[in-house]
Amino acid sequence: MIRKFSQMYVKTENFITNLLMVGVVAFVLFASVVRWAGYPLSWSVEFAQLLFVWVIFLGANRALREDKHISVDFFTKKLSKKTKAILESVIFLLIIAFLFFLMIFGIKLSIENSVRVISNLTVSYSLVTMSVPIGSTLMIITLFFKLKERFKSFKSEVV
């Protein structure tokens, strides 16, 4: 059941991320054409930024889940599997600590910005800043699953 929920969640998150990215591109293209025609949209930049911030955090979680982040493996290629697994686990724990910091301060930032309004959209700026704690939380969850996988593979190699 957890696996099925996880697969459904991943599909949903990927769909939302793709939809937001297509939305950013389509909206910027539309705003550019309309501006070229002499009818600029005063709120186009803020709206594109709002969508893009969410794309960044959801995309970062997707890249983390699919191991698509840039990494330098010059030294780690020379390590044994056991040492490499331990090092990756330590790195994951450090990233979780940093993301936890981002999550806590992202929540504080969102609360502080709840009364601030995006000038041309008349929506709360916390709609933008909530991407930080939500994205950080999603990445923490992803890293916990990755740690669980590393622990299982490490345990099976030891036994």
Query: What are the extents of the domains in the chain?
Result: 2-158
How high is the pLDDT of residue 159?
54
How high is the pLDDT of residue 18?
95
pLDDT in tens, the chain (159 residues): 778 888 899 999 999 999 999 999 999 999 999 999 998 888 888 888 999 999 999 999 999 999 888 888 788 888 888 888 888 889 999 999 999 999 999 999 999 998 998 888 888 889 999 999 999 999 999 999 999 888 887 777 655
Q: What is the dihedral of CA 25, 28, 31, 32, to 10 degrees?
A: -100
How high is the pLDDT of residue 80?
85
How many whole angstroms separate alpha carbon 127 and alpha carbon 134? 11
Q: Taking the model in full, what pTM does it have?
A: 0.87
